[in-house]
Amino acid sequence: MKTHQVGSVLICEDNKLIGIYTERDAVKAMVEDIDLNRPISEVMVTNPMSIGEGAPLAEAIQLMAAGRCRRLPIVSAGKQLTGIVKVSGILDYFVEHFPQTVFNLPPEPNTVISEREGA
Structural domains present in the chain: 8-103 (3.10.580.10)
- The 10 Å CB-count burial string (b at 16+, else e) for 86-97 is beeebeeeeeee
Q: ∠ CA 43-51-100 to the nearest 5 degrees? A: 110
What share of the chain has pLDDT > 90, as a percent? 58
Q: Model confidence at 109, in pLDDT bands (50, 70, 90)?
A: low
Predicted confidence band at 100 (pLDDT cuts at 50, 70, 90)? confident
Q: What mean pLDDT value characterizes the chain?
A: 88
According to DSSP, the β-strands at 71-75 and 51-52 are: parallel
- Kindly tell me if the per-residue pLDDT of 112 is higher than 90: no
